[in-house]
Amino acid sequence: MKKNISVLLSFVILFLFTATSCNNKNDNEKDNFTIVTSFYPIYIMALNIVDGIDNVELSCMADNNTGCLHDFQLQTKDMKTIEKADVFIINGAGMENFMNKITNEIPDLNIINSSKDITLIPARYAHSDVDGEYNGHIWVSIENYKIQVQNISNQLAELDPAHKSQYIENSKKYIEKLDKLQNDMHSALDNIKNRDIITFHEAFDYFADEFNLNVVLVIEREPGSEPSASELAETINLIKKTNTNAIFVEPQYPRTSADTISAETNAVVYTLDPCVTGDMNKDAYINTMRQNLQVLSEALN
């Protein structure tokens, strides 16, 4: 009899422990504030803003090797990820051309548009990422990037007031690092005489605007596409006419056409990174931009 009572008590204790564990797990899951970012540069911003904050879960919808969202197609798994989020953070400026689908299917979703209050540059060509209207690569400008960080921080503080002070403090520290980066880049680039650059993708228009560089030509109308023979000839003639001696390609795309142009003009091919792919660490943007500074200093001096 005593043995049966002991066994019964054991089962009761086990049941209560399991039930308590499950309830605690559900409570913890419920307490988590879930943030999903659209793609890589937005993730890096958010990673700095939520650094060290308990019960805040951060993820990125697009893989960190996706690059710009020019031709990104939402998958069922992406919609499921976004549907579970407390907030979805986007670049805005037309970069996420799939937003109508998301807002139609998840009308109550909290969306942070980080492009708020940023003056947009008209697109040179019609791309799917900018709907033929504006250039969406706002984050490549450090000044714009800082505005995006502040926008994200302010809106997270409103949506998740329990962590308001931490969001604000983290964004303040990150912006201080970005201020130093910006000052260093201005010190190095403001007095260079050669300010003409040719790029293969219109990702650097905002950067050029900030640092007073002159984008003589953007060669590829569609990222990763090959220019036609007539476009190649036009580019070669322009380089010879203007004595532009530097061509800038991006590591995300092939450089075949750039090498062809270089062989015909003696212009040197350099690599500039628009920070759309890379390591998922807090300093990724700053490290990439400092590498870009080294490349520009070498190319333009």
Q: Do domains 31-185 and 188-300 have the same CATH topology?
A: yes
Helix, strand, coil fractions of the chain, as percent rounded to 5:
50, 10, 35
Contact in structure between 142 and 95 (CB atoms under 8 Å): no
What superfamily in CATH does domain 188-300 come from?
Nitrogenase molybdenum iron protein domain (3.40.50.1980)
- In this prediction, residue 125 has a pLDDT band, given cuts at 50, 70 and 90, of low
Q: What is the Cβ-side half-sphere exposure of residue 248, based on CA atoms within 13 angstroms?
A: 28
Q: Are strands 268-271 and 214-218 parallel, antiparallel or unpaired?
A: unpaired
Task: List, in order, residues 6 or more apart from 221 with CB less than 8 Å away.
Answer: 125, 227
Q: What is the pLDDT of residues 247-276, one digit of tens each?
A: 999 998 878 888 999 999 989 999 999 999
Strand order of the β-sheet with 111-113 is: 56-60, 33-37, 87-90, 111-113
pLDDT over 70 at 22, yes or no: no
Say what angle helices 164-189 and 142-159 make with each other, to 10 degrees. Answer: 180
What pLDDT sits at residue 189?
A: 96
Partners of 199 in beta bridges: 218, 248
Query: Among 145-159, 211-225, 253-267, 273-287, which stretch is predicted with the lowest mean pLDDT?
Result: 211-225
Domain boundaries, the chain: 31-185, 188-300
31-185 maps to which CATH number? 3.40.50.1980
